[in-house]
Each structure stands twice: as structure tokens, then as C-alpha cells.
Structure 1
Amino acid sequence: MYKSIIALVASATMLTACNSDLANDQEKPKENEQQKETKAGPEKNKWSSLPEYDEIIEQIGDKDYTLNKETDNDDKRVFLIELNGEKQYKTIFIKRTNRLKIIEINGNGEVYDKIIQ
């Protein structure tokens, strides 16, 4: 009697252990796929709520830019925008007047200087 109870408990434990490994294996690819899809996503989502974001992307294009916030105080917000580790643009957003300036660092100088709505 004791042998059959021990065998039943042992087989139930092994079946439970095998099922949990299978469940973990099926979930891992989903996590990896999600990380690949959202690798650049969090940064874009992080800044996309800013009033100047859409105008910046419209002016410089939607490449794989990295936005580095240099200053964000009550008066202005300054970003340095990099592409492949090289600084490409500097943006200055004056909060009181909603004026956006975009400056190309290695070339044409001021690209954009307008009040945005």
C-alpha cells in the first residue's frame, strides 16, 4: 500500500516538473521576440509625448536616432541627437514661447527655427 502511494506521488511530481519546463520553454521565445521588437521602441515612446517631438522627427527624418537630454528645466529643453554614436543635431525648445530650434552640428547650422503649435 505504501509503495503504491509513494509511486503515485513520485509520478505526479515528475509530471508536474516536466509540464513546468515545457511551459517555460514556450514562453521564452515570446520574451525574446518582444525585446527585439521594442529595442528602439521605449526611447521613442519615452519622448513621443513631448510637444516638439513630432516636429523634430518631421525635420530630421525617422532614422534610428538616439535622443540624449542635456537640459530640461522650467525655461528650455535641450537634446543632442546621435546617429550611430555621432552627434548629428542639437534641438532647443523654449517652453514659454513654444519655439523650436534644430541645429545640424556637422554641417548646415540652423535647420529649423519656428514657433510650433
Structure 2
Amino acid sequence: MKRIIIGIALLSMLSACQTGTEENNGLDNDEQTQATEENIEAEPNNQEAESGQTEDNEEQEYSEESNTDEDSFQEMEVIEEYIDVSDYQREIETDNRNTRVMFFKSDQGEKEYKTVFIKDKSRLKIIHLGEDGLLFNEELN
């Protein structure tokens, strides 16, 4: 019998505590829901912006540290076997600790070739963005 009375007393105290928090905020149910939704929407955007800035900063720092002379890239010798690089403009899309992605554009600015070099495995992929597709996909010595 004592357990039942104690249980009812605890439940009534818990329910009283919950209604008290709503009254203390001075917001009705709709206003609370709206405020909560605004907080939820704002948080992911901040996290995405912060993580994006961090990745950009890391990539920028690495690019500044890395070799900026494109002709001395480890994979250039093989790329030159498949692509006449003098006919194309080089655009480095990504150059970070793991990969280097380059595009070779025609004089009209159209992307003709894409190369992906995975640094830790020394794997090079050369892709013709037209009909030919994958031209090379091997590990370099």
C-alpha cells in the first residue's frame, strides 16, 4: 500500500514539474515548437559551414606546402603518354594529402580529360570525358 502511495506521489510531482517548465518559459506550445525548429535548422548550417571551412583551410595549407610545379608531379610522365598536354590547359581541382584531381581543358574551355592520382597507393586513373572513357587505371612504380 505504501508503494502505491509513493508511486502516485512521484508521478504527480513529475507531472507538476513538467507543467511548471512550460509556464516559466512564458511561451505557448506553438511558440515553443517554432523556437525549437529554428534552433534545429540553424545548428546544422553552422556545423556544415565550420566543417567546410576547416576542410578548405587544411587543403589550402597542404597545397601551399606541396610542390606547385605541375610538371614535376609523379604522375605527369604517364599522363603525357596518353594526353598531348601541350594542346590542353591544366586545371587542378583537388590537391590534398590523399588525392590529386586534374582536368585538361580544350582551348574552348571544355573539359576533355580527367586524371585522379591516389597518392598513398600511387594509383593513377586517366579518363577521357568523351567516348573513350577510362584510358589508364594502374599503380605506378
Q: TM-score w.r.t. structure 1 length?
A: 0.58
- Which residue is equivalent to 2:136? 112
Query: Is 1:77 matched with 2:100?
Result: yes
Does residue 94 in structure 1 map to residue 118 in structure 2? Answer: yes
Q: Which runs of 5+ in 2 are unaligned?
A: 1-67
Aligned to 2:72: 49
Superposed displacement of residue 62, structure 1: 4.1
Structure whose alpha-carbon radius of gyration is higher: 2
Cα offsets for 1:45-91 (capped at 9, x unmatched): 93111000111011112432111000111110000111212210000
TM-score by length of 2: 0.49
Task: Give the strand-richer structure, 1 or 2.
Answer: 1
Greater helix share, structure number? 2
SS in 2 for 1:63: helix
Percent identical among aligned pairs is 38
Counterpart amino acid of residue 115 in structure 2? T
- RMSD (Å) for aligned C-alpha atoms: 1.5
Unaligned runs of 5+ residues in structure 1 are: 1-44
- Structure possessing the higher relative contact order (Cα contacts under 8 Å, 6 or more residues apart): 1
What is the DSSP-based 3-state SS (H/G/I as helix, E as strand, rest coil) of the residue aligned with 1:106?
coil
